[in-house]
Amino acid sequence: MNQTIRYGIVGCGSMGREHIENLYAMGVAGGASVTAIADPHGPSRDAALALCRERPQVFEDHRELLKSGLCDAVVIATPNHTHVDIMRDALATDLHILVEKPLVTRMADGLELLARAQGRKGLVWVAQEYRYMPPVAEMLRLAHTGAAGRIQQVAIREHREPFYPKVGDWNRFSANTGGTLVEKCCHYFNLMDLVLRERPLRIFASGDQRVNHLDESYGGRRPDILDSAYCVLEYPSGARALLDLCMFAENSIDNEHITIVGDEGKLESLLPSLTLRVSRREDWGRREAWGQPSGTGKGVSVRRVWDTGIKYAGHHFGASYIEHQRFAAAIRAGTPAEIGLEEGLRAVASGLAAHLSIAEGRVVALSEILPTGW
């Protein structure tokens, strides 16, 4: 396919509109056109239309969009718990699909979608854009070319503001989101696996709802989403990964901090400053170097990393723009998705395992969540 790719947007909330902005940034030169939008919520549809430079066909029901013949690809950016129903309908077509994370909120739903996707012609890509953020992408490149030696530890810290308001405040309830460690953190679990190029064996997590949404009530229902947690994941090689999440820390300077430590060096990515730190343990094998004080910053290279090809930074430091470019390139080349359904579902599984660990106060094996043979 060399012609313009016609996109349909299903879900016109904040993330759906973010996709529209990215597609328009790609523009005619990038071969992107928004030809249809669908959302049952009128104000969301109106807000999306206000962004459109052409006049897309407007639908209330996603099924009408899917059968309209107006689209080559569809972007699904609806509330998490609605993904499974919309994906069932989308997978029955030949359309290319970009579905927002998390893929699903329940493991059984994800396995069903995997089965439905077997043998279909259209591409299916799960949006996990974190890996495309410029300093993160460069950190991954360095890690995978041995800049830190054999990787032993990965730590991801996000200290941020509470969940944003959504239509009907659907994201206040775990039944809708899959839980905070699915909704918010499947990105991070996916990134840990990508850094280590392994799949976790076990996870232990501790978390709670300590500060946010405690005084809210929705028809007598109290929000139940946790706002803080620590998660430790163990991998087959013996490497470990740590997630440190706090959602009442909006006064942070760099609210997202990734650290990769190997036996020969250390890599750090900080956002939103777009900072990358790289250091080597040059004297690690010399006995006379023992006892030297740490924390001096000696030998640490610090630089700001950006991709000048990004035409729209948006809410994800240009990562969604890069992901859309990769998605479109895969459609045109007929190549597999960089982030397929199975990988998207594995990220959900880690989040579900973390929530089970918190609920039962124990280490949870991923084999308890994943089917036999995974």
| Angle (nearest 5°) at CA 270 between 345 and 232 | 45
Q: What is the pLDDT of residues 229-274, one digit of tens each?
A: 999 999 999 999 999 999 999 999 999 999 999 999 999 999 999 9
Confidence band of 153 (pLDDT split at 50, 70, 90): very high
Q: Domain containing 120 — which CATH number?
A: 3.40.50.720
* Residue 62: inside a domain: yes
**Beta pairing partners, 242:** 155, 232
Confidence band of 298 (pLDDT split at 50, 70, 90): confident
Assess whether pLDDT exceeds 60 at residue 224.
Answer: yes
Mean pLDDT of 1-15: 89
* Residue 15: inside a domain: yes
Confidence band of 304 (pLDDT split at 50, 70, 90): very high
Confidence band of 290 (pLDDT split at 50, 70, 90): low
- Residue 62's domain spans which residues? 5-130+317-340
Local structure of 172: helix, strand or coil: helix
Highest averaged pLDDT of the listed ranges 277-286, 287-296, 353-362 = 353-362
* Residue 181: inside a domain: no
Percent of the chain residues topping a pLDDT of 90:
89
* Residue 45: inside a domain: yes
16 Cβ partners below 8 Å, 6+ apart? 9, 10, 37, 39, 44, 48, 75, 77, 78
Number of domains in the chain: 1
Assess whether pLDDT exceeds 90 at residue 289.
Answer: no
166 phi, psi to nearest 5 deg? -125, 170
* Residue 325: inside a domain: yes
Assess whether pLDDT exceeds 60 at residue 143.
Answer: yes
pLDDT at 75: 98
* Residue 106: inside a domain: yes
* Residue 68: inside a domain: yes
Local structure of 14: helix, strand or coil: helix
* Residue 65: inside a domain: yes
CB atoms within 10 A of CB 92: 13
Sheet containing strand 96-100, strands side by side: 57-59, 32-38, 5-10, 73-76, 96-100, 124-127
